[in-house]
Amino acid sequence: MQRPSIRGPVALLVLVSLSFGACRGESTPPLFTGDLGKSAGEPDKKREPPPVAEPERKLWFSSGPGRDAILARERQNFSAAVKLLDEVLQDGSLATDDRGAALWLRALEDLRAQKFAEGAARLAEARTAPGLAAVAPRLRLLEAQAWLDAGMPDKAKAPLAGLVEAAAGTAIEPAATITGADAKARTGDRDGALAQYAGFLAKFPESARRHEVRAKRARLLAEGEAPEELREAIELYEKLLLDVPLSDYGAEAEERLPALAQKLGLRRSFTEDRDAVRQRQLAKIRDQLARSRYAGVIRDVDEFLALQPADADRCEALFLKGTAIFKQRKRAKSRPVFESAAAACRKAGPGRKDTLVKALYQAGRGRYAEGEYERAAKQFTAVADEFPDHSYADDSLLLAGESWAEKNDKPRERQAYERMLKDFGDGDMAFEARRRLLVLALTQDRPADALKLADDGLAGKGFDLRDRAKLHYFRGRALHRLGRTDDAVAAWLDVIATAPLSYSGLQAMSRLREAGEEPLARGIAALSKSADQAAVRLDLPPTPAAERALLLARLGLGDEAREELSDAKIDGWPAAAVLAQAGLYGESQRLLGALGSSWRQSPPGAANRELWTIAHPLAFSDLVRAGEGAHQVPWFLTFAIMQTESRFEPGVTSWAGARGLVQLMPATAKDLARQAGVDGFDEARLYDPSLNLDLGTLYLGNLVRRFGGDDAAVPLAIPSYNAGAGAVDKWLEKRKDWDFDLFIEAIPYDETRAYTQSVLERWLSYRWLHAPAELTAAQRLPYVPLTLPSRVRGVSPGPVDHG
């Protein structure tokens, strides 16, 4: 593949890519798009011992094939894990506890391959290891379930003996109760099974497995003759039919209910039957929508409407149909359906007011999609006028402003946003209205108005730190336009003091760089300032649950570690640290999301640097290093993309079908593989981090080179990755004379604008935290100029359907 010459910041990429520490005990897998190997006749070089895999993680095995097996399982390379674990188990000198750990992990691979008896036998041996005593009940549960799955329920009795009592109050008690009841049911103890299922439903009524247990109890009850048992079976099945109509349990209920009713001699009136059918059909439609089965929703609503339901039901059904069409990205076609829903909702009366407002709002969005911007604007305004107390009122005014913007009616756009601030100044959309007014003021060269908007916003309360940082940033931009450079510098330093490693912090540091060496030095000093605060303690409480969680984390059993932490109500930074240690980065990231953003007020220093690094892990860094180096992706950008797209979870699939760490659509990945000359592409392999990151960095590199190849290209490559390069080209054509920061703020897709700023913020954080020490602070900081870069003609982005 032809490569442009290395220049400017790209040269730094080479230095950084060489300085990432290797992270696996095995050598880095070769790039699928790279060279095939050394040429014939090249002499063999003496191999150095492989470095310890991910040395910062305290795994059960400190080195060797056991450690590599844990990491291979995390990477979903299960065949490699089996080979490595077999190698471990062949070691005759292996310590008892290490053998127990290896047997456990190997048994899990047996279960994955549905070799249940083999897995059960390994688990039986593993639970005798003294070092696994703390989790012995969990191993007994796994063994018992494996024997049941192997069709050998009698063998499940031994590990189940006393297990429910041993598991009482722990994370596995619900599962132990179910497995114990299943064993009783399969060994002829019907009464014992019924009692245990009933006990589960009484003790764990909100369990995720409650539907499974209802179905199992209903089956056993349906086998009896006692009327009270048959009536309860009917009640359980009817509940399943309403709660999970599209599940296997719902299908089972639908099949068995008529026979049960006949067996009991039940006769329902026409009204009762009609009402039951209505409830079931609506429940099924709701479930279809929740499962993104949009074609099924449309079909079932049409069948439901043929029954001529009451206005209230017609209102809901039509709204569900409109939503399904809208989610198929057929927004214009959804409009008449939402309008019909609104008409039915008005007839239904006050009880359907909420659905009425939402239907009118969605109909306006459909009108907007048709390009009828003036009518859409007036429709949104009418919603706000008629329902000023509804939560959608301020959203409607926001979309009215957007509609006037598409009509290029700047006065009425401004009027809509100003009304939002006046009528809903304390609402959740107030900052968004102020932000849009700031962009309008600066693009219309009204810096005094922009300054007042920023000052008024900063005088108020309720904005989070990112919003306040953005107000400080735009305050600086307005002051700079007014010729007050020193005040502008002070405002940009306020950004760093408010939210140092934020998107606005990146823009502020770029402006300080342009202001000269002294302002830049002041900004770097603010970023480097160590917070005057006590270090957050990351150690877990000295409890059995915490001990189990740590042991499970060391084995790389992240789901199980999370289960123990959740059950013991251990959350916050200690739990996030344990989950990251286990390689369960996604759950760790979700926990951090629940912590809010206050910890981001202080830049990483001695007291809090570990928190920042937990929040920004170098997951899959060997693959990232290889991909960024080969495909000339600005260093650390892939981490920011991966964190935003999947939270580092290789097995993620989006609602649109995008797969893996950097969320590639199968069609996109297939085209990239063809472009790179990769043979035998299989979309199932997109869950393999090696292929996913290789193709993803190839795509990213294409996009970055399309806009010049340096740091300045990144803020255009990111929205291209999210919305498609064609969309970015259209925006550039429309706003080619705008300042770069205002261009980003004016990205018309809310999701893409937020995505772009989130990725840029994470990119800044990764570079500041993890760049090599030999780089200067200025070199570690990305730079986003005010001038938009030009597209490099002749450079293709490759496929643009990212999904």
Q: What is the pLDDT of residues 691-720, one digit of tens each?
A: 999 999 999 999 999 999 999 999 999 999
pLDDT at 15: 43
Position 736 pLDDT exceeds 50: yes
Position 799 pLDDT exceeds 80: no
pLDDT at 754: 97
pLDDT at 315: 98
Position 378 pLDDT exceeds 50: yes
Position 802 pLDDT exceeds 60: no
Beta bridge partners of 739: 787
pLDDT at 51: 64
Indicate the pLDDT class of residue 618, thresholds 50, 70 and 90. very high
Position 12 pLDDT exceeds 50: no
How is the chain split into domains, by residue range?
95-206, 544-615, 621-780
Query: According to the per-residue pLDDT averaged within each range, which of 129-133, 284-288, 683-687 is highest?
Result: 129-133
Q: Give dist(CA 627, CA 28) in Å, integer.
A: 11
Q: What is the length of the chain?
A: 803
Q: Give dist(CA 787, CA 514) in Å, integer.
A: 12
CATH code for residues 95-206: 1.25.40.10
| 45/382: higher pLDDT | 382
Mean pLDDT in residue range 740-754? 96
Position 803 pLDDT exceeds 80: no
pLDDT at 50: 62
pLDDT at 229: 96
Indicate the pLDDT class of residue 197, thresholds 50, 70 and 90. very high
Mean pLDDT in residue range 385-397? 97
pLDDT at 529: 87
pLDDT at 619: 92
Calculate ∠ Cα 224-144-213, nearest 5°.
40
Tokens of 424: 């809903």
pLDDT at 32: 60
Beta bridge partners of 786: none
Strands (E), 212-309: none
CATH code for residues 621-780: 1.10.530.10
pLDDT at 680: 85
pLDDT at 277: 82
For 129-184, the pLDDT digits (tens) are 999 999 999 999 999 999 999 999 999 999 999 999 999 999 999 999 999 999 99
Query: b/e for 490-504, b at 16 or more Cβ within 10 A?
Result: bbbbbbbebbbbbbb
pLDDT at 27: 44
pLDDT at 661: 96
% of the chain residues with pLDDT over 70: 91
Residue 428 burial (10 A CB sphere; 0-12, 13-18, 19+): exposed
pLDDT at 794: 52
Q: How high does pLDDT run on average in the chain?
A: 90
Q: Give dist(CA 565, CA 78) in Å, integer.
A: 26
Mean pLDDT in residue range 776-795? 86
pLDDT at 792: 61
Helices (H) and strands (E) in the chain, counts: 41, 0
pLDDT at 49: 58
For 38-92, the pLDDT digits (tens) are 334 444 445 455 666 667 778 999 999 999 999 888 878 899 999 999 999 999 9
% of the chain residues with pLDDT over 90: 76
Residue 664 has φ and ψ, to the nearest 5°, of -95, 135
Cα Rg, the chain, nearest whole Å: 30
pLDDT at 268: 63
pLDDT at 33: 66
User: What is the torsional sign of CA 590, 594, 600, 604?
Assistant: negative
The alpha carbon of residue 771 and the mean position of all alpha carbons in its chain are separated, in whole angstroms, by: 26
Q: Give dist(CA 544, CA 568) in Å, integer.
A: 9
Question: Which amino acid, 485?
Answer: T
Indicate the pLDDT class of residue 539, thresholds 50, 70 and 90. confident
pLDDT at 25: 39
Position 34 pLDDT exceeds 70: no
Tokens of 140: 């007994």
